[in-house]
Amino acid sequence: MEYFPVLVLLISFIGLLAIGVPVAWSISISALLTMLVSIPFLPATTTLAQRMGVGLDSFALLAIPFFILAGNLMNKGGMAHRLIAFAKTLVGALPGGLALINITAAMLMGAIAGSAMASASAMGSILGPEMEKEGYSKEFGAAVNITSATTGLIIPPSNILIVYSLASGGVSIAALFLAGYIPGILAGVFLMIVAMIWAKKKGYTGHAKKGDSGILAIVKTFVDAFPSLLLLVIVIGGIVAGIFTATEASAIAVLYSLILGFVYKEISFKTLPNILLDSSVTTAMVLLLIAASIGMSWAISYENIPQATSDVLLGISDNVIVVLLIINAILLFVGIFMDITPAVLIFTPIFLPVVTKLGIDPIHFGIIMIFNLCIGLCTPPVGSVLFVGVGVAKTSIQKVIKPLLPLFLAMIAALLLITYVSQLTLWLPSLFDV
């Protein structure tokens, strides 16, 4: 009987997803069914509704719609073109130059916009046709774009790091933001190594043309991209220095992006309503998922599922290496079937008590979890970044799988390194004492 709520939760959730029920509804209904194990129907429905409403009543969560809007403004405001031009001067001359440009530009875009889907859309639409002209296969270009776009969820500012802070009970957002830099850059470097090996194997050359490389070209493109890159300094610098909170920083990011879009003449009063509408739709989808996941998290806690999970995992082994390996394997599997936001909200309260008992820092575990679930965004059947990347490239998932596999292995290798070398995540937070 102790594990009956777990069975109800898993069977109902997987069953609802299998018959095509939307994820948010699947989460809510399975949470309700789990609560009905020990609570009558009327109190269960009332409690679930209350928890969903109260869960969204958070000042920290205000940062999410602001960062979504800021990301859309950046995407439409001409920043992507300038970041790609800057990336060309840095890595364009290397083997597989266009693939490396994609990865570098995605990291820069992620460091500013914090959106994997925005990055995949922008980089794919701009660099995809250019890669085809240079002889790259459409599928390889899509695979590089899909995997590199996820670095934007690890490199701050990142909405999902804010969600983890909420789910973990208040881990410092500033510390999480700083902790994401080295793992995000490491992921990019691992992807670059694989892209270069693949490019050499396939005979893809560099992309440097006359005047595209050298100190003068780097300085010129850097100056052009500097206003976009300055946003990173303002947002992260302000949070770390304690000048403003992450929520206030997100509002500043919107204002700065809007002004820059008008300065670049890429945004006008005519295009602004569509940007606001797109941002509102995305925000509504994300917050519905968050509300449903918060409801499920409460149901999970009420039924003592975290304690049961902790007992099972620690019963298998109390060795940190083994437990982290098991958790990583579970999260990799979960990421295949569940979007990153509900996965973080649901599994953080389950796994965090286990790892804290073993002495693992919650900041370190947060980066492990998010890095792990980023891989799931690139996998079928629910990988949102995969679908965006394939759609932009006008190809199919079946054709992209083969070039994706070595890039997946690179991400998993980076994940294992980050998992077992905690200083890769904790060094910067400790350096700035946040």
Confidence (pLDDT) at 113: 64
User: Mean pLDDT by 10-residue block, N- to C-terminus, for the chain (434 residues)?
Assistant: 76 87 88 89 92 86 86 78 82 78 83 72 80 83 91 88 89 92 94 88 64 74 87 84 86 90 87 91 86 87 81 86 94 87 89 92 96 90 81 86 92 96 95 85
Q: Which residue has 């470097």 as its token pair? A: 189
Compute the distance between CA of residue 222 and CA of residue 209 in angstroms, rounded to an integer: 18
Compute the distance between CA of residue 357 and CA of residue 318 in angstroms, rounded to an integer: 9
Which residues constitute the domain of residue 151? 4-431
CA distances from 222 to 83, 127, 184, 373 (A): 8, 19, 21, 32
Compute the distance between CA of residue 383 and CA of residue 337 in angstroms, rounded to an integer: 8
Report how far apart the first and last C-alpha atoms of the chain are (Å, whole number). 44
SS3 content of the chain, % helix, strand, coil (to 5): 80, 0, 20
Q: Which residue has 């990019």 as its token pair? A: 188
Compute the distance between CA of residue 23 and CA of residue 26 in angstroms, rounded to an integer: 5
Confidence (pLDDT) at 289: 85
Confidence (pLDDT) at 75: 75
Compute the distance between CA of residue 292 and CA of residue 25 in angstroms, rounded to an integer: 7
Compute the distance between CA of residue 57 and CA of residue 75 in angstroms, rounded to an integer: 29
DSSP at 93? T
Of the candidates 410, 301, 402, 411, the residue with the CA atom closest to the CA atom of residue 346:
301
Confidence (pLDDT) at 310: 81
Confidence (pLDDT) at 397: 84
Asked whether the whole model's pTM tops 0.85, one would answer yes
- Indicate the number of domains in the chain: 1
- Condensed to tens digits (0 to 9), the pLDDT of residues 124-174 reads 887 888 888 877 888 888 999 999 989 988 988 888 999 999 889 889 999
Helix 272-302 to helix 41-56 angle (10° resolution) is: 130
